[in-house]
Amino acid sequence: MIAPLLVSALLAAAPVGAPDPEALLRDSDRARGALPEGVTWTVVVDSTEEGETTRRSYLVRARGVDALCEALSPPRHKGEVIVFNDRTIWYVKPGLRRPIAISARQRLQGDAATGDITTTNYARDYAGTIAGEDVVDGDPAWRLDLVARNKTVTYDRIRYWVSKKRRLAVKAEFLTVSGDVFKTASIEYGGRVREPGGGEVDFPARVTIRDAMGAGAVTVLTYESPRAEPHPPAIFNVNNVAR
């Protein structure tokens, strides 16, 4: 008797007409760089803490689950590279004898973690459920609860809003294991990537990450010149990068 009651409770919790959460995440992932054909963009990361703003910029080349992020500025970081091989991440710096394995959760700049600067693959990395419906900046959206499938991803839990009409992620709250919100993100779109087949995919113009624990820090990721272009698998081989 317990199992039928549990199933009934779960079905009752899902809003009427709610889409399949995995399909919704797949669509929103495509608009955040998860294109199997390959995509390139520049991201500028501005972080403001205690009234002081610092800036870094990266050239990002991504294909499927792999990405190569090359530091462009400031000059002291130029030439540093972060290589994403699926869930394994490597840091390569001129002068280092060998690459260093790092975590997607490692702080990169302000409130931006290493895993924030490249593509999202939430459909693969998180188990999602439709938890409700809200309006975000005038845009009706589905509210999803995401729970990490493993510990290698950037966040344990995410409360995630995806536009009903556009199927684009518009807001996120990042939660601790206990459920406390420790930072939030708002996502604005403005870029378009033309795919080889002739179609176009929306691309973020800006992601604003705010500290939710009282420190008041703000980190803004600005995306510039997104474009679809093929990338050979060899450029994501850390052994080639480290030479």
- Enumerate the H helices of 21-133 as residue ranges: 21-30, 122-125
Check which CATH number belongs to the domain holding 209 and give it: 2.50.20.10
When comparing pLDDT for 58 and 87, which is higher? 58
The three-state DSSP-derived secondary structure of 161-206 is: EEECCCCCEEEEEEECCCCCEEEEEEEEEEEEEECCCCCEEEEEEE
Q: For residue 148, tell me if it sits in a domain.
A: yes
pLDDT of 13: 59
Q: For residue 6, tell me if it sits in a domain.
A: no
- The structural domain count of the chain equals 1
Q: For residue 191, tell me if it sits in a domain.
A: yes
For residue 162, what are the domain limits? 24-241
- pLDDT tens for 165-203 read 999 999 999 999 889 999 999 999 998 888 777 788 899
pTM of the model: 0.88
Q: For residue 233, tell me if it sits in a domain.
A: yes
Q: How far apart are CA 202 and CA 192, in angstroms?
A: 5
Q: What pairs with residue 85 in β-bridges? A: 66, 88
Q: For residue 14, tell me if it sits in a domain.
A: no
Q: For residue 16, tell me if it sits in a domain.
A: no
Top-ranked range on mean pLDDT: pick from 17-26, 86-95, 138-147, 226-235 = 138-147
pLDDT of 160: 98
Q: For residue 12, tell me if it sits in a domain.
A: no
Q: How far apart are CA 141 and CA 219, in angstroms?
A: 24
Q: For residue 121, tell me if it sits in a domain.
A: yes
- pLDDT tens for 111-162 read 899 999 998 899 999 999 999 999 999 999 999 999 999 888 999 999 999 9
| Close Cβ partners of 204 (under 8 Å, ≥ 6 residues apart) | 31, 32, 187, 188, 189, 190, 191, 221, 223
pLDDT of 5: 42
